[in-house]
Amino acid sequence: MMLHLARARGSWATLLARGRSASSAVRFSPEMHHLLRREKVPLQEAFGVLQSRTSPYDIKGCDAFFFSCLQEAPLPPAFVDQVAAFFGQVLEHDAFGPREGAFSSMVALLTQSHRTDLALELLKKKHAKNPDVQPHYRSYAPLLEHYIHANELEKAWSFWAYVKSIGTTQPPEKVGPTMVLFASKALGVDQCIFHNVLGELNALRYQLISDDVALWMATTSDRPGYVTTQLDHAAMLPTCGHCDATLTKLPVTLAELEALLQAVETMCVESQYIPSDPKATPPPPMTRETKLKALRAFEKWLATRHAMVPPGKLHYIVDAPNVAYLNQNFEGGAFRFDYIDQLAKSVQAEGHVASATMPAYYFEEVSYLSVKTANRNSYKKSGTRYFRTRTAEDKAFLDAWATDDFAFPARREVASDDLYWMYATFYLLSLDAKAGVHGHRVRVVTNDEIKDHILALDEKHNIRRDLVERWKDATCVGVSLNFEKKVAQVTLHHPLPFSRVVQDHGETYHFPTTNGATWLCVSPTTRAVHP
């Protein structure tokens, strides 16, 4: 068999660092995929070729071969034993062993051949060989699903606990359907495991896809003692229209709030000021001490405003630029002070407190205009800039706000304006939590998805995306414009009073669906339900 060496695309060190075996730099001819797919070589003959490739092993060929074995299953038991023995040989002698695709195929083949003991043994050897490499769920899924389908629920739960304990990846779109299947098998059979599985679905923040819904409806139609009712989203407010249970909101703890606050403070301190006006000369960078002093002044202003919140009312932090630029992406668009003022007055009329964070240059007589339109984008290369001169109406708004101390001038030299309102919400929520104040009294009015900041929090500050999403789900209020008789009306879109996650209420259970419009309510048939 001829062996052609291919030129490596990088150094051997790079290949090793990426967890690739030495055979990644080797091209075998003919390729295993070609033998099996193009030449239609029988599996036994292809296996002989694969067995001859041992210095190094044909790792890519293993992917194609073991996948083909799975596709042609069931195979003769003796041949499965030979294939499994060779797989174990590759696992033992190759630097990294078979890749995830080959492992998934081999484990599935063994489970179909009733060799679950060997499948489990190989998986444990895989992790023991490279304990510092994060395992992929793909390799473990076939064995877990086998246990579930076979109704070996205790084995399935024990194996899942092992899979989690070694830090295996948990992609919700892959793990979620398996956990739904697991829950459907455990319902009414092993309630302890059933409740545990619901906890896993909750932690995954998984919402049921159409196949999950069909599975669940079929399961409970054949399972005595339980009924599944599909309800519209509106039927869940204020309580479930079928069982009268109150759905709950995922909490954010004080420790989590303090972690968020510390992370955003660090982002403020480390941020570099880039003027919005591309031709402006940036001032000298601020020192860490100066920035921290500015943040302490911001905290003092926030605390003073927060002390004004009456019992049972809320404190709305307004992302002023996000509101002021609503629907302004057209030629002649402007920073609309009146939108901010209208929003503030509408929440104040209900007894709430509103406080705005606004870049400091909007308090000046002439400010750089940050309206983005197709017409203006063509001037970017030429450096054309747009400015807005403050009108008498603008000044009237600013004067009134100054009297009420409503708006805080966010200095870009300290941090970007979005970091200001993020900092404000974390600081005030932490303040309430430390004071033992019950309820979530802080909201932020913005349509900003802060995707860049979420990425930075995750990658640079070890703040999980789930935590940020829980905070957003409880705190962020959307805003839009409606027009009545050509007069703009600012409308707020409040967060839901509950989280769209699987919820366990002891005797009844609720599953959200991905369409965002329906829920499944699973309840005992003997339970009294809402008329």
Residue listed under structure tokens 């020192």 = 287
My answer on whether 198 and 264 are in the same domain is no
pLDDT at residue number 228: 94
Range of 217's domain?
31-235
For 328, half-sphere exposure in the C-beta direction (CA atoms, 13 angstrom radius) is 18
User: Alpha carbon 352 to chain centroid distance?
Assistant: 31
My answer on whether 462 and 434 are in the same domain is yes
Flag whether 404 is in a domain. yes
Helix/strand/coil for 389: strand
Q: Is the peptide bond between 30 and the residue preceding it cis, with omega within 30 degrees of 0?
A: yes
DSSP-derived pairing of the beta strands 353-359 and 407-410: parallel
Flag whether 206 is in a domain. yes
My answer on whether 224 and 292 are in the same domain is no
Whether pLDDT at 12 is above 50? no
Whether pLDDT at 479 is above 70? yes
Task: Assign 489 a pLDDT band (cuts: 50, 70, 90).
Answer: confident
Question: In the 3-class helix/strand/coil scheme, how is 135-197 assigned residue by residue?
Answer: CCHHHHHHHHHHHHHCCCHHHHHHHHHHHHHCCCCCCHHHHHHHHHHHHHHHCCCCHHHHHHH
Task: Assign 17 a pLDDT band (cuts: 50, 70, 90).
Answer: very low
pTM for this prediction: 0.80
pLDDT at residue number 330: 44
pLDDT at residue number 385: 66
Mean pLDDT over 283-312 rounds to 95
Whether pLDDT at 303 is above 90? yes
Dihedral angle computed from the Cα positions of residues 323, 476, 439 and 358, in that order, rounded to the nearest 10 degrees: -40
Whether pLDDT at 320 is above 90? yes
pLDDT at residue number 274: 73
Helix/strand/coil for 293: helix
Could you tell me the CATH number of the domain that includes residue 84? 1.25.40.10
Last residue of a domain, one of 182, 202, 235: 235
Residue listed under structure tokens 């036994």 = 44
Flag whether 166 is in a domain. yes
My answer on whether 165 and 269 are in the same domain is no
- How far, in Å, are 157, 272, 408, 430 from residue 292 at the CA level? 49, 14, 16, 18
Last residue of a domain, one of 201, 235, 269: 235
- CA pair distance 407, 354, nearest whole angstrom: 9
My answer on whether 286 and 432 are in the same domain is yes
Could you tell me the CATH number of the domain that includes residue 416? 3.40.50.11980
pLDDT at residue number 390: 82
Mean pLDDT over 378-387 rounds to 57
Task: Assign 325 a pLDDT band (cuts: 50, 70, 90).
Answer: confident
My answer on whether 271 and 159 are in the same domain is no
Number of domains in the chain: 2
My answer on whether 90 and 167 are in the same domain is yes
My answer on whether 282 and 338 are in the same domain is yes
Which residue, 233, 179, 168, 238, is CA-closest to 204?
A: 179
Whether pLDDT at 7 is above 60? no
Q: For 209-244, how does the pLDDT look when each residue is reduced to its tens digit (9 = 90+)?
A: 999 999 999 988 888 899 999 999 999 999 999 999
**Which of residues 25 and 139 earns the better pLDDT score?**
139
My answer on whether 231 and 260 are in the same domain is no
* Candidate from 153-162, 439-448, 487-496 with smallest mean pLDDT: 487-496
Whether pLDDT at 485 is above 60? no
DSSP-derived pairing of the beta strands 476-484 and 442-445: parallel
Flag whether 49 is in a domain. yes
Whether pLDDT at 19 is above 60? no
pLDDT at residue number 333: 58
Q: Which residues contact 143 (CB under 8 A, 6 or more apart)?
A: 107, 111, 116, 119, 120, 123, 159
Last residue of a domain, one of 235, 268, 298: 235
What is the percentage of the chain residues whose pLDDT exceeds 90? Answer: 75
Retrieve residue 243's tokens: 């069982």
Residue listed under structure tokens 């051997």 = 12
Flag whether 516 is in a domain. no
Flag whether 518 is in a domain. no
- CA pair distance 219, 227, nearest whole angstrom: 9
Flag whether 153 is in a domain. yes
Q: What is the largest CA-CA distance in the chain?
A: 90
pLDDT at residue number 26: 78
Whether pLDDT at 459 is above 60? yes
Task: Assign 278 a pLDDT band (cuts: 50, 70, 90).
Answer: low
Mean pLDDT over 459-483 rounds to 92
**Which of residues 161 and 326 earns the better pLDDT score?**
161
Task: Assign 53 a pLDDT band (cuts: 50, 70, 90).
Answer: very high
What is the percentage of the chain residues whose pLDDT exceeds 70? Answer: 88
Q: For 370-379, how does the pLDDT look when each residue is reduced to its tens digit (9 = 90+)?
A: 655 545 444 4
- How far, in Å, are 99, 111, 173 from residue 142 at the CA level? 15, 7, 15
Task: Assign 272 a pLDDT band (cuts: 50, 70, 90).
Answer: confident
* Candidate from 304-313, 342-351, 356-365 with smallest mean pLDDT: 356-365
My answer on whether 264 and 219 are in the same domain is no
- CA pair distance 228, 212, nearest whole angstrom: 13
pLDDT at residue number 222: 82
Q: Mean pLDDT, the chain, as a whole number? A: 88
Q: Which residues contact 380 (CB under 8 A, 6 or more apart)?
A: none
Whether pLDDT at 511 is above 90? yes
My answer on whether 218 and 273 are in the same domain is no
For 35, half-sphere exposure in the C-beta direction (CA atoms, 13 angstrom radius) is 22
Whether pLDDT at 397 is above 80? yes
Residue 513's CB: how many other CB atoms inside 10 A? 18
**Which of residues 368 and 80 earns the better pLDDT score?**
80
My answer on whether 212 and 284 are in the same domain is no
Flag whether 316 is in a domain. yes
